[in-house]
Amino acid sequence: MRAPVPEWEPLRLLIGKISERYYSMSGNVDLTDAQELRDVVQAIKATPRKIVKRDGYVYLFQDQNGMCKIGMTTDMAQRGRTLEDKHGPLKLLASIRTKDRYKLERELHAKYAHRCHHLEWFILSDDDIKEIKSLVRV
């Protein structure tokens, strides 16, 4: 279960209060509740959000059995070490620096979905690899 967001506590309390009134069938809605709800919503909208870093790299690694992994990272060196610790020696076939690693990875996964073996691992032909390499810098 996710931890509650402290900034949302007033909204949770207000929704609870309004729900209690609704379910008790009192029939009267206090307009100050509506204004309070608008104030809480405005406060939440003004709360700074965590900014997700979208730029980074999309990569193509190949293992000793010829399986290829299409993935993304913000740190190529660290990602390479992590993958090699788990899957053994890998060869970096391609990497591209991009402003939206999520989008590019999703596009490549969709394009080669028919060649997907398991999760982000693909059985790619030489032509597939050449095509991906043409999109990226090694």
CA atoms of 64 and 36, how far apart (whole Å): 62
Q: Do 33 and 89 reside in the same domain of the chain? A: no
Q: Do 82 and 111 reside in the same domain of the chain? A: yes
Q: Do 127 and 60 reside in the same domain of the chain? A: yes
Q: Do 117 and 72 reside in the same domain of the chain? A: yes
24 lies in a domain?
yes
CA atoms of 121 and 69, how far apart (whole Å): 4
pLDDT tens digits along 8-55? 666 667 677 766 655 555 555 555 666 776 777 777 777 666 667 889
Residue 54: predicted pLDDT: 87
Where residue 100 sits, what CATH number does that domain have? 3.40.1440
pTM of the complete model: 0.63
Average pLDDT, the chain: 82
* Structural domain count, the chain: 2
pLDDT tens digits along 84-93? 999 999 999 9
Q: Do 87 and 21 reside in the same domain of the chain? A: no
State the average pLDDT over residues 113-127: 95
What is the DSSP secondary structure assignment for residue 24, as one 8-state letter? T
Residue 135: predicted pLDDT: 81
Q: Do 68 and 86 reside in the same domain of the chain? A: yes
114 lies in a domain?
yes
Domain containing 103: what range? 56-135
> DSSP secondary structure string, 43-106?
HHHHSPPPPPP--EEEEEEEETTS-EEEEEES-HHHHHHHHHHHH--EEEEEEEEES-HHHHHH
CA atoms of 116 and 25, how far apart (whole Å): 55
Nearest residue to 61 via CA among 86, 85, 89, 33:
89
What is the C-alpha radius of gyration for the chain, rounded to an integer number of angstroms? 25
Residue of higher predicted confidence among 106 and 5: 106
